[in-house]
Amino acid sequence: MTETTISFLDPSQILVLFGARDQHLRRVRESTGVEVTVQGDEIHLKGTEEQIRRGLATFGELREIIATKGHLDASDVSEVLGETNGDSEKHEEIDLLEQARSVVPRTKGQADYITAIRDHDVVFCTGPAGCGKTYLAVAMAVNALRQELVRKIVLVRPAVEAGERLGFLPGDMLAKVNPYLRPLLDALNDILSFDQVTRYLERDVIEIVPLAFMRGRTLNDTFIILDEGQNTTATQMKMFLTRMGMESKIVVTGDTTQTDLPDHVQSGMADATKRLSTIEGVKTVRLTGRDIVRHPLVREIVKAYDAEAKNNRSRRGR
């Protein structure tokens, strides 16, 4: 093992270099494999010669960015890690810190989606069924929770009636909305063990709630996911987005071509992606049929429905 030291004239630069809750430091350690400790105005690197070389190169470039900009963004770290290791795709892997499990994007669109979540505080992801919108968002939320970047995960869904009436379903209100929240729970159970999911839910570390229950709340240090965002109205979407507190992140997923809202009501997700497109820190990712990773027939089914929709629009335009 080899050791080396990097000195700082201003110890406060170390805080900027490491990021909030050491989020930048964790990414550098995961990427380079180098061990990092702090003593006063020095950071000590320990590892193999190759790990030390990569660590020094990475921290050197990050220090230059801080000297130029005065701060360090997650996107800066992404760029430096990609240049340092010559393999940017490697850094898109989502480490679940769960028995060495990880989630790896299977398409370029999915990799871009993961990068967008890492680098932005509000992300909208649109795309057809089966392209991993919800699954990857939940995996990123678990990653953030395990790395202590957030204290809580809140998973939200609008309870919109898709051809059925809630009143005809048996049980109390929670029983009635359970079918709408079930896809989020399925994603969690696929990513984490059943016992871990149960513990998180019991301790309120993970909360799954209908959209209507979000009114009046402010969520700090929270990773918030709104699934089926196309089924919100503009008013509901504004209410949801303004629940965001300090050190929180929001991901909204949905398929804007498949809304269950009345014909005369505009989708809040479609409205938000247009209205907020110029705001820094907000990113929209559009996945396509090429990103579908379910059964191969799902891709063909989506194509068939899309083709019919295009034909209908063409006939209406005549």
pLDDT at res. 86? 38
**In terms of domains, do 19 and 60 share one?**
yes
As given in the structure block, the two tokens for residue 260 are 């269950």
The verdict on residue 288 lying in a domain is yes
* 214 assigned to some structural domain: yes
- CA nearest 134: which of 181, 90, 168? 181
User: Is the confidence at residue 87, as pLDDT, over 50?
Assistant: no
The number of distinct structural domains making up the chain is 2
Residues 145 and 290 in one domain: yes
Listed in sequence order, the residues at least 6 apart from 40 whose beta carbon sits closer than 8 Å to its beta carbon are 11
Q: CB-based contacts of 33: which residues, under 8 Å, 6+ apart?
A: 47, 48, 51, 54
Do 68 and 116 sit in the same domain of this protein? Answer: no
14: exposed, middle or buried (Cβ count in 10 Å: 0-12, 13-18, 19+): middle
256-273 average pLDDT score: 89
3-state SS class at 209: strand
Beta strands in 158-290 (DSSP E): 206-210, 222-226, 249-254, 282-286
Label residue 296 exposed, middle or buried (CB < 10 Å: 0-12, 13-18, 19+). exposed
With contact defined as beta carbons under 8 Å apart, do 48 and 2 qualify? Answer: yes
Residue 148 to residue 26: CA distance in whole angstroms: 11
Range of the domain at 9: 2-81
CATH of the domain at 280: 3.40.50.300
pLDDT at res. 168 = 47
Could you tell me if 36 and 169 lie in one domain?
no
Please tell me the distance from the alpha carbon of residue 138 to that of residue 190, in angstroms, as a whole number: 10
Tell me, yes or no, whether 68 lies in a domain: yes
In a domain, residue 200? The reply is yes
CA dist 124 and 254 (Å) reads: 8
Residues 66 and 191 grouped into a single domain: no
Is 97 within the bounds of a domain? no
**162 and 253 belong to one structural domain:** yes
* Structure confidence at residue 250 (pLDDT): 97
pLDDT value of residue 85: 40
Cβ-based neighbours of 110, under 8 Å, separated by 6 or more: 131, 132, 136, 287, 291, 293
Q: What confidence tens digit (pLDDT) does each residue in 201-210 have?
A: 999 999 988 8
Q: Are residues 76 and 128 in the same domain?
A: no
Query: What would the pLDDT profile of 190-238 be if each residue is shown by its tens digit?
Result: 888 888 899 999 999 999 888 888 999 999 999 999 999 999 999 999 9
Q: Locate the DSSP E strands across the chain.
A: 2-7, 35-39, 42-47, 94-98, 101-103, 122-126, 152-157, 206-210, 222-226, 249-254, 282-286
Query: How far, in Å, CA of 46 to CA of 62, rounded?
Result: 18
Domain boundary among 35, 64, 81: 81
CATH of the domain at 11: 3.30.1370.10
Residue 100 in any domain: the answer is no
86 inside domain: no
Alpha carbon of 313 to those of 16, 59, 129, 263, 316: distances in Å? 52, 54, 21, 15, 5
203 and 252 in a single domain? The answer is yes
Answer yes or no: do 251 and 194 share one domain.
yes
pLDDT tens-digit profile of 138-165? 999 999 998 899 999 999 988 764 434 4
Q: Which of 91, 207, 196, 96 is nearest to 145 (CA)?
A: 96
- Give the span between the Cα atoms of 244 and 281, in whole angstroms: 13
Residues 133 and 40 in one domain: no
The yes-or-no verdict on residue 318 having pLDDT over 90 is no
Domain boundary among 65, 81, 97: 81
Answer yes or no: do 56 and 117 share one domain: no
Q: Is residue 186 part of a domain?
A: yes
* Same domain, residue pair 11 and 125: no
